[in-house]
Structure 1
């Protein structure tokens, strides 16, 4: 059986972002993984986590599933704090050995010192902005795709040698007409493609 680390990257703000949507997606992902025989461990960035234990979870995992809301075009600051602390502690400790470069071998490139080869990750995002703002020349993101707009998260994992799976995102979450039945169906279709069909 494969091991999945599910990370709740939500940061709570009363009345604005209480975490209900994030929990709904994590519950749906958990149900999917349990039904398909995966071993699960959980991490919550807004908690009193132990950094060493978190590194051990990353080393244990075959897959990492990271669910978080986009705050001001990036991860919540507490999620960035978690990433900085845990990934830094992973140096020579299962996540990466160095930045990949070598004084004696100039062919070794920056970003090639990861130890997480074979590990795959999926990010799942909740957004206020509409999907029309991505991959549109006149859009807010200047033609960037969804993944290009979230390059920092992708490159963090790839620095450690992990490989990306298809990203999921839900949009216009504050409009009040979000069809969660359809969205969760779309979400489960992405999970199916990433974790079942790709085997």
Structure 2
């Protein structure tokens, strides 16, 4: 059986972002993984987590699903705090050994010291902006794709040696006409493609 860690990267803001959408996606993913016989662990960044225990979850995991809302073009600050604390504690503890460079071997490059080879990760994002703003020269993101606009999250995992799976995103979440049944079907298809 494969091991998967699901991280709830939501930060609550009363009446604006209460976490219900994030919880819905995590519940859907949890059901999918249980149905497909994965061992499952959860982490919640907005909790009183133990940093050492969180590092051990990353070492245990074959797969990581990071679910979060995009706030001001990036991860919520509490999710960044979690990443900073947990990944920093992973130095020489299963996540990375160093930044990869070596004084004795100039061919070793920055970002090649990760210990998470073989671990795969997926990011799943909730956005207020429309999908049309990505990969469009005249779009808000200046032609950047969804993954390029979220490069900091990808590079964090790459630094530790993990490999990306296809990213999922849902858009226009405040528009009022979001068809959640359709979106959850799309999400299930991405999960199936990535993990089965």
Report the TM-score when normalising by structure 1.
0.98
What is residue 104 of structure 1 aligned with on the other side? Answer: 104
Q: 1:1-199 maps to which residues of 2 (within 5 A)?
A: 1-196=1-196
Structure 2 residue runs of 5 or longer lacking an equivalent are none
Q: CA deviation at 1:57?
A: 0.2
Residues in 1 aligned to 2:132 and 2:6: alpha-carbon distance in whole angstroms: 29
Residues in 2 aligned to 1:184 and 1:148: alpha-carbon distance in whole angstroms: 24
Residues in 2 aligned to 1:51 and 1:131: alpha-carbon distance in whole angstroms: 35
Residues in 1 aligned to 2:12 and 2:185: alpha-carbon distance in whole angstroms: 26
Residues in 2 aligned to 1:131 and 1:11: alpha-carbon distance in whole angstroms: 22
**Residue deviations 1:96-117, cap 9 Å, x none?**
0000000110000000000000
Structure 1 residue runs of 5 or longer lacking an equivalent are none
Q: CA RMSD in A?
A: 0.2
Q: CA deviation at 1:167?
A: 0.1
Residues in 1 aligned to 2:29 and 2:191: alpha-carbon distance in whole angstroms: 8
What SS is found at the alignment partner of 2:5? strand
Paired residues, number: 196
Q: CA deviation at 1:181?
A: 0.5
Residues in 2 aligned to 1:103 and 1:144: alpha-carbon distance in whole angstroms: 36
